[in-house]
């Protein structure tokens, strides 16, 4: 096309330039839109990934806590199982002990029924023995037997304590037979009470000597009375009294003792 008018040519040229510019700008605008969308998608993916990582971390922590709790529960269960086993053994032992104690109590009841008459006989026999023995410490020994007699009738004292007291009294009487003792007391001489020093030589002899040493005597078990001794026994008895009181060292003394008797 031939444009005769120069002005028309310039106008056409401007239109072509504007069209080219529009054509050039259109692809750039279309290219910017996918990039922005891609960035938005990338940001969304990253956000979801971060959120997923947080959830993963939380689940991992929960898993560790659950595993730790499980291990603790298993350990506690083992301990409880061991404890229960120990309790079962303890209960079985206690039940066996209860059975043993129950049997012992039953036996004890039988023993108590059998031992009470025996203890009564022991107290009675002790009283008879004291009355027939040498008359030394008579009041003390008789009072001891009386206390035992009263003790047997007391309900507030156990059978074991009663038996212990009886054995204690018997032991005291046994000890009298192997000791040398001096004590002061009163004896009737020619119908008059006189203060004297008594000398007990085991159970072999019971002698006395007045405080002025003028009279010496001994108990005659056969006659059941006191008899005067010859003057030759004055010094030996005095020496024996000092030995019994630990005032002199042990020494050989000549004392009158009853001759041994033969029994049929």
Report pLDDT digits (tens) over 205-248. Answer: 999 999 999 999 999 988 889 999 999 999 999 999 999 999 99
Residue 192 is given by DSSP the state E
Final residue belonging to a domain, choices 176, 198, 223: 176
- pLDDT-derived band at 64, boundaries 50, 70, 90: confident
d(Cα 126, Cα 142) in Å, to the nearest integer? 10
| Residue 54: φ, ψ to 5° | -60, -45
d(Cα 159, Cα 115) in Å, to the nearest integer? 9
- 196 and 158 in one domain? no
Residue 76 is given by DSSP the state H
Final residue belonging to a domain, choices 176, 196, 228: 176
Total structural domains within the chain: 2
Per-residue pLDDT tens digits for 81-106:
899 988 889 898 988 888 888 887 77
pTM: 0.58
d(Cα 174, Cα 179) in Å, to the nearest integer? 10
CA 20 and chain centroid, separation: 114
Q: Does 113 reside within a domain?
A: yes
- pLDDT-derived band at 35, boundaries 50, 70, 90: confident
- pLDDT for 147 equals 96
Q: List the structure tokens of 195.
A: 């203060």
Q: Does 7 reside within a domain?
A: no
Q: Does 77 reside within a domain?
A: no
Domain that holds residue 154: 99-176
Q: Is the model more confident about 103 or about 120?
A: 120
End-to-end CA distance of the chain: 187
Q: Does 135 reside within a domain?
A: yes
Mean per-residue pLDDT of the chain: 84
- pLDDT-derived band at 262, boundaries 50, 70, 90: low
- pLDDT for 10 equals 60
Half-sphere exposure of 119 (CA within 13 A, CB side): 24
- 189 and 163 in one domain? no
pLDDT exceeds 50 at position 263: no
- 240 and 196 in one domain? yes
Q: List the structure tokens of 62.
A: 């929960």
Q: How many residues does the chain have?
A: 264
Residues in CB range of 157: below 8 A, 6 or more apart: 151
Final residue belonging to a domain, choices 157, 176, 195: 176
- pLDDT-derived band at 160, boundaries 50, 70, 90: confident
């Amino acid at each position: 096309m031939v444009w005769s008018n120069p002005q028309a040519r310039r106008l056409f040229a401007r239109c072509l330039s504007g069209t080219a510019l529009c054509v050039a700008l259109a692809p750039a605008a279309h290219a910017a839109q996918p990039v922005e969308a891609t960035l938005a998608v990338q940001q969304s993916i990253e956000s979801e990934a971060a959120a997923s990582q947080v959830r993963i971390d939380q689940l991992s922590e929960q898993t560790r806590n659950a595993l730790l709790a499980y291990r603790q529960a298993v350990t506690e269960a083992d301990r409880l199982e061991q404890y229960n086993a120990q309790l079962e053994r303890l209960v079985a032992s206690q039940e066996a002990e209860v059975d043993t104690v129950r049997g012992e109590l039953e036996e004890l009841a039988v023993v108590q029924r059998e031992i009470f008459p025996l203890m009564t006989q022991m107290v009675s026999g002790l009283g008879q023995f004291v009355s027939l023995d040498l008359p030394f410490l008579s009041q003390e020994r008789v009072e001891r037997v009386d206390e035992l007699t009263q003790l047997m009738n007391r309900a507030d004292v156990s059978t074991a304590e009663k038996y212990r007291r009886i054995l204690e009294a018997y032991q005291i009487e046994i000890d009298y037979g192997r000791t040398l003792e001096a004590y002061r007391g009163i004896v009737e001489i020619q119908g008059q009470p006189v203060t004297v020093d008594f000398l007990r030589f085991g159970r072999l002899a019971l002698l006395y000597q007045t405080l002025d040493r003028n009279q010496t005597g001994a108990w005659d078990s056969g006659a059941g009375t006191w008899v005067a001794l010859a003057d030759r026994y004055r010094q030996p008895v005095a020496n024996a009294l000092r030995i019994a009181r630990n005032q002199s060292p042990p020494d050989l003394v000549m004392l009158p003792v009853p001759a041994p008797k033969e029994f049929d």
